[in-house]
Structure 1
Amino acid sequence: MFKSFGVAVAACIALTSSPVLAADKKSDLAIYGQLPNIETVRISPDGSKLAVVLTNSEQRYLMIREVGGEALTRVAVGQTKLRSITWAGEDHLILVVSQTEEVRGLMGPAREYYMASDFNWKTKKLVPLLRNQEDSMNVIVGAPMVRTIDGEPIVFLEGIHFVDNRGVNTLYRVNLRNNTTRMLDYGARADADDWLVDATGEPAAQSVYDGKRGRWSLRMKLNGAWRTVDEADTPMGSYGIAGFGRDGKSVLVSRADDKGNDFLREYSGVDQHTDLPSDLSGLIYDPATLALLGGATLKGDELTYTFFDAGSQKTWNAVVKAFQGDRVSLVSWSKDRKRVVVQVDSAEMGPAYALVDLNTKQASWLGEVYQGVTADQVSPVRAIKYKAADGLEISGYLTLPKGRDPKNLPLIVLPHGGPEGRDEPGFDWWSQAVASRGYAVLQPNFRGSEGFGWDFVKAGFGEWGKKMQTDLSDGVRDLAKQGIIDPKRVCVVGASYGGYAALAGATLDRGVYRCAVSVAGPADLRKFLLTNIRVNNGEAGASQRYWLRFMGADGAKDPDLTAISPAQQAAKVDIPILLIHGKDDTVVRYDQSQAMADALKKAGKPVQFVTLDGEDHWLSRSATRLKMLTETVAFIEKHNPPE
């Protein structure tokens, strides 16, 4: 369909004014550690404009520009944590931001709250949404749903309305033209946790979840009345609603069978449903009809897009082929699906955004995700597999320092968070930064990781701090056996659950690592679970059950938690430890690292503790993210020199 991309591409358009950082023999860590220079790109419904979120070392910007033309406006967002942007017609953008707050009158500690605003790029007027609503908060609890009704963009938001001092997930309708807001279908169910609005602006479905019982139900509006069409026991959390089905009217839910295998179910009424193939994860919808078109899934190391319609599949295959084997992801497309924004991840150059015009059969670069990262600063990544001690096959990724012979290298083990997450192929800023200093980097998908089947996830149940931990050191031993790494020069570094794994490497699986760095890692599991109960107003709900399943404990006070809590095993530490934690972390609270630091000091063990002021669990700010990376690299270079 296209000529080779190198021929079809237009000249690269520089979207930021930030200078490219000079690279010497060792690249400046800032080119990896600051936030991406382009965080996201969204194309307008008619395909004529692009909304681009840019960052530099200090703040974010939102730029609106013509496709192939000049910038129309550019506004500074500052250090606001801008989480998403959504076009609402051609003149409006819905901006979703978040901030950490402890709200007076609400039980529990500080939380991360999300808020929505309407930005009219023509008038440059920013209007907060859901403000001044009686007995309500100005926060949202779901993604904005934009519908065009009688030619006007209408936004539907899930907010919090208080009834008898209890917050209820409630649906609101916002007319952007006259800035009027009204509440819809209030009182349908107190335990509502998700809504779906059809193309005409009518509520079509509602997900309800009883956290105490672990019971989910789906309600649909049929012939003007709400009916319960399905129920299920879901102790690990609500199924919610995925969107509309293939006809744009049926309701789609991502479910699991009694063996834990995922599948999609389309509901058209009571006792009326159809099950779809289970290999679709990242679902794709028609921006005009809201109908399900297909989905994306990571099969092994290959990102695959599957469309129900043969014509759409052929078109997408041609788009991917035009980029000569690079990993291509769908980001945004126009309402007619003729102009498509994609992210292209090159093994040699790193990730960049591009615009594909299916009318002209041309593609053009929009800009690099990480400005300043060149081919000389991208280290090669290879997919690997090895056997754990019990014979289970573990996969992962090995990043090798560019230009170095892959023999007897120093190694950094970098386990992912979750724990039911996974590492994926492609550019990873953290592993690339560490590799730029001369280290090999191992990112293992240990048992319990998602994406490798339910049996592999189940293999992690009860193995927190046990086989999930030795899956990491088994990878070290495999690389040492091949002669790729020096087993005497290994450190472990991670964030969230990966931070726990780093601490467990220093306390539970000793003798493997020379140093450990934990970024926002749980350290005292009993305290971690009790805090989670406090956040949920005293209820041990779905998230509690999720953690306990992996920990293999009966409850927050189970004495078995002591044996797998690094803070309780601090006396065993015989390597240096660096703790890094954001003060505003609401997922793994700051006091987890504080507890570990106190335990290490009491035991007379070496520890450094770095506080990231104003930072959350996701390293959302450029300066503190770079500080984390700089402190980490300095620590491992001191205790595990790369030369």
Structure 2
Amino acid sequence: MRFHQLFTRTVVAAAAFLVAAVHAAEAPGTAAAPPIASFFSNPAFNGAELSPNGRYLAAFVGAKDRRDGLAVVDLSDLSARMVAQFSDTDIGQARWVNNDRLLFSTADKESGQRDLRFAPGLFAVNRDGKGYRQLAKRNMPFVTNGNDNIDMLPWHTYMLNQDGPQTDEYVYVSDANIVSPGILVALDLLRVNTRNASAAPVQHPGVARSWLLDQNGEPRLVETLDKNLRSIHYLDPATRQWRVLASFDAYTGDDNDFNPLAFGPDGALYVTANHGEDRTSLYRYDLAHNKLGERLVTLEGFDFHGSLIISNNKLLGVRVHADAAGTTWFDPGMQALQQSVDAKLPGTINLITPARRPETPWVLVQAYSDQQPSRFLIYNAETKRMSEVGNLAPDIKPAAMGTRELVHYAARDGLDIPAWLTLPAGGAHKNLPMVVLVHGGPFVRGGSWNWHADAQFLASRGYAVLEPEFRGSTGYGAKHFRAGWKQWGLKMQDDIADGTRWAIAQGTADAKRVCIAGASYGGYATLMGLINDPDLYQCGIDWVGVTDIGLMYDSGWRYSSDLSSDWKAYGMPQLIGDRVKDAEQLKATSPLEQAARIKQPLLLAYGGADLRVPLVHGVKFYDAVKRTNPRVEWVEYAEEGHGWALPKNRIDFWGRVEKFLDKNIGSK
């Protein structure tokens, strides 16, 4: 199932209506490459969500001179009202409590990790802007002011990314037990009244790490973690007692493990599982007999990843993620609606979301392609009226963007490796300078068929971009994932090199103009690529990259890490390498130990407040490599964490990347 192949590449326009802040700026001319800010500025529009009855739309909007606020649109007349906005912070997330009330949090988009002084907090407000109430403090323990004595929930109270009952004033929120520096120990659940902030804890067994609400928005599943043992507990509605459905290794799993996805409108539990096969599928779970039931959806070439689409107490379809995000509809009426929307938007994949309990014909549509950043629109199924709400990257002109495709090549041991190939718009696609962009994780899925800012920016500057889904990446089956265990710097690295040679053999890349780049694990792979294959890569760009696995285990007293002790004790030894048993391998695959072997030009960028890959990784490596390599550039963004939160730093960094690439591989 490859959704993007069903669509053409013509993008149509629609009328924007919300507020001036979400209108697209004038598109850049075709003669010049789009400016860096078009790719990496914070958008003025950040998404939307229908009310349960479908009469209203909540949207996140801002402007250059204002913080992001929360607006509500009355769909009967398309009138908009800003219901919440602060002068010192942005609205972060929001969910409908019911048809008349919203729960929301904040996110300071003008502060980097080092400068964050406040938690997100929790707030509630009516859709008309009245009934405002702060429910949880924003003040962390080291920040005090006059509000500390107000009776509120503690700062470590967070929104739950699931809908509650949506029929009264209550919501469920999480109470996170966090130890410094940001390591989650437990995640308890609270039932909170959004009018008066009264709260009651949900009783449960064990040390909770995640929750799943049922079809009525009530707690039904809790996952607990004890060292490396993950257990799934079910609250039986008949007995009101918790019972264990299954237990397995949290990091390596086993043949019988599964992941709870959602409850259907009839109370059935839907899960994803391998069930003896290489790739996961969507199943109904037999709660009476604690076993998998009927298999419902399997994706060709991919593990199942997606969500249920439920409206009017009916399972209408499943949102799935194969090469792209798309929808499998079970309901004929929704299938017909999809065809109607697709006819109006022929150049994009169009994800339709109906209201949970609709009283109107309005649906929300998210439209995107590899060249079109996501646009949000509303569509009236009766009048066929469609209006644009906002665009996540309004300054991007799709015609100036490159094409993105999923390709496959064989690794040297025969393993099939998927990869994303982005090529510049127009012109010949032969013997191009190429950037091999390595995803982080590494035990995650790297890419998708969509508009990808990093890759499209590089393509707009004339580079081919190859993003390998090397072994160890998830989403492509258990065999592909497990083949990457303990292969940092070894077969995982070979997969990347084999993809580079494949692109050269295809005639896509110029063998003398290839640079390797990546963040986090991708930064590690960049350095190991320069070490293992010096003939292949003319330069490297590493940002926030791991430089030594030993430093992941112990970054020293001066630098804090958010890697938990359980992950270091049970996960890392199995998936990456045991620091004692595999000491020689870890030394041989340490960029820090091999720094003197890197002779190519290198750009290094690190965050001074990074907790995932502390600054010591960059500092130690820079000190080591510059002794024998004069062509090393260094930049530290002191206020940033694991990546660049601030637009000024994103724009500065990618400006440096552009100059670095142009100098080293940009011209013959």
User: Which range moves more in the overlay, 390-399 or 230-239?
Assistant: 230-239
Measure, in 2, the Cα distance between the counterparts of 1:112 and 1:296. Answer: 35
Measure, in 1, the Cα distance between the counterparts of 2:117 and 2:160. Answer: 18
Measure, in 2, the Cα distance between the counterparts of 1:286 and 1:431. Answer: 34
Tell me the equivalent position of 2:97.
88
- Does the 8 A contact of 1:508 with 1:566 survive in 2? no
- Does the 8 A contact of 1:129 with 1:138 survive in 2? no
Distance 1:260 1:578, change over 3 A: same
Measure, in 1, the Cα distance between the counterparts of 2:11 and 2:453. Answer: 29
- Does the 8 A contact of 1:529 with 1:544 survive in 2? no
Measure, in 2, the Cα distance between the counterparts of 1:608 and 1:254. Answer: 45
- Pairwise mapping of residues 567-606 of structure 1 onto structure 2 (< 5 A)? 567-606=592-631
- Does the 8 A contact of 2:205 with 2:242 survive in 1? no
Match of 1:344 among 337, 359, 367: 367
Measure, in 1, the Cα distance between the counterparts of 2:527 and 2:130. Answer: 48
SS at match of 2:554: helix
Structure 1 residue 139 corresponds to structure 2 residue 156:
yes
Distance 1:123 1:586, change over 3 A: same
1:138 maps to a residue whose letter is W
- Pairwise mapping of residues 253-264 of structure 1 onto structure 2 (< 5 A)? 253-257=271-275, 261-263=279-281, 264=283
> What displacement does 1:70 show?
3.2
Measure, in 1, the Cα distance between the counterparts of 2:556 and 2:124. Answer: 33
Measure, in 2, the Cα distance between the counterparts of 1:480 and 1:318. Answer: 43
TM-score of the superposed pair, with normalisation by structure 2: 0.82
C-alpha root-mean-square deviation of aligned residues, in Å?
A: 3.9
> What displacement does 1:288 show?
5.5
Measure, in 1, the Cα distance between the counterparts of 2:525 and 2:651. Answer: 22
Match of 1:191 among 207, 229, 235: 207
> What displacement does 1:574 show?
0.6
Measure, in 2, the Cα distance between the counterparts of 1:616 and 1:293. Answer: 41
Measure, in 2, the Cα distance between the counterparts of 1:532 and 1:323. Answer: 54
Structure 1 residue 488 corresponds to structure 2 residue 490:
no
Distance 1:612 1:54, change over 3 A: farther
- Pairwise mapping of residues 403-418 of structure 1 onto structure 2 (< 5 A)? 403-418=426-441
Tell me the equivalent position of 2:230.
215
Tell me the equivalent position of 2:474.
450
Match of 2:404 among 368, 381, 398: 381
Gaps of 5+ in 1: 104-109
- Pairwise mapping of residues 403-482 of structure 1 onto structure 2 (< 5 A)? 403-419=426-442, 420-482=444-506
Tell me the equivalent position of 1:503.
527
> What displacement does 1:32 show?
0.9
> What displacement does 1:283 show?
0.8
SS at match of 2:498: helix
Tell me the equivalent position of 1:159.
175
User: Which range moves more in the overlay, 33-42 or 524-533?
Assistant: 524-533
Tell me the equivalent position of 2:295.
276
> What displacement does 1:305 show?
1.7
Tell me the equivalent position of 1:72.
81
1:71 maps to a residue whose letter is A
Distance 1:259 1:350, change over 3 A: closer
Distance 1:567 1:80, change over 3 A: farther
SS at match of 1:566: coil
> What displacement does 1:381 show?
2.5
Distance 1:199 1:469, change over 3 A: closer
- Does the 8 A contact of 2:10 with 2:347 survive in 1? no
Structure 1 residue 170 corresponds to structure 2 residue 188:
yes
Tell me the equivalent position of 1:45.
52
Tell me the equivalent position of 1:560.
585
> What displacement does 1:468 show?
1.6
Deviation sequence 1:391-434 (CA, Å, 0-9, x none): 22222222222233212211111122222222111211111111
Aligned residue pair count = 626
- Pairwise mapping of residues 270-419 of structure 1 onto structure 2 (< 5 A)? 271=290, 274-277=293-296, 279=298, 280-286=304-310, 289=313, 293-299=316-322, 301-320=323-342, 322-330=344-352, 333=355, 335-336=357-358, 338-347=361-370, 349-419=372-442
Distance 1:335 1:623, change over 3 A: farther
- Does the 8 A contact of 2:421 with 2:464 survive in 1? yes
> What displacement does 1:155 show?
1.0
SS at match of 1:489: strand
Measure, in 2, the Cα distance between the counterparts of 1:5 and 1:486. Answer: 27
Tell me the equivalent position of 2:22.
16
Distance 1:536 1:566, change over 3 A: closer
Distance 1:47 1:162, change over 3 A: closer
Tell me the equivalent position of 1:35.
42
SS at match of 1:518: strand
Measure, in 2, the Cα distance between the counterparts of 1:466 and 1:69. Answer: 57
Distance 1:403 1:243, change over 3 A: closer
Measure, in 2, the Cα distance between the counterparts of 1:83 and 1:556. Answer: 44
> What displacement does 1:180 show?
2.6
SS at match of 1:461: coil
Distance 1:161 1:445, change over 3 A: closer
SS at match of 2:156: strand
- Does the 8 A contact of 2:231 with 2:247 survive in 1? yes
The sequence identity of aligned pairs, in percent, is 25
- Does the 8 A contact of 1:494 with 1:518 survive in 2? yes
- Does the 8 A contact of 2:11 with 2:346 survive in 1? no
1:354 maps to a residue whose letter is L
> What displacement does 1:568 show?
1.9
SS at match of 2:357: coil
- Pairwise mapping of residues 482-561 of structure 1 onto structure 2 (< 5 A)? 482-530=506-554, 540-542=565-567, 545-553=570-578, 558-561=583-586
- Does the 8 A contact of 1:118 with 1:126 survive in 2? yes
1:381 maps to a residue whose letter is R
1:65 maps to a residue whose letter is V
- Does the 8 A contact of 1:194 with 1:240 survive in 2? no
Distance 1:405 1:570, change over 3 A: same
2:72 maps to a residue whose letter is I
1:189 maps to a residue whose letter is P
> What displacement does 1:525 show?
1.1
Distance 1:201 1:87, change over 3 A: closer
- Does the 8 A contact of 2:544 with 2:643 survive in 1? no
> What displacement does 1:437 show?
1.3
Distance 1:557 1:55, change over 3 A: farther
> What displacement does 1:253 show?
4.2
> What displacement does 1:488 show?
0.6
SS at match of 2:528: helix
2:211 maps to a residue whose letter is W
Measure, in 1, the Cα distance between the counterparts of 2:588 and 2:277. Answer: 30
Measure, in 2, the Cα distance between the counterparts of 1:241 and 1:617. Answer: 28
Tell me the equivalent position of 1:61.
68
- Does the 8 A contact of 2:603 with 2:633 survive in 1? yes
Structure 1 residue 228 corresponds to structure 2 residue 243:
yes
Measure, in 2, the Cα distance between the counterparts of 1:550 and 1:82. Answer: 38
Measure, in 2, the Cα distance between the counterparts of 1:503 and 1:59. Answer: 41
- Pairwise mapping of residues 232-243 of structure 1 onto structure 2 (< 5 A)? 232-236=247-251, 242=260
- Does the 8 A contact of 2:370 with 2:449 survive in 1? no
Measure, in 2, the Cα distance between the counterparts of 1:624 and 1:21. Answer: 23
Tell me the equivalent position of 1:107.
none
Distance 1:214 1:69, change over 3 A: same
> What displacement does 1:231 show?
2.2
2:448 maps to a residue whose letter is E
Measure, in 2, the Cα distance between the counterparts of 1:586 and 1:461. Answer: 24
Distance 1:60 1:66, change over 3 A: same
Tell me the equivalent position of 1:634.
659
User: Which range moves more in the overlay, 406-415 or 37-46?
Assistant: 37-46
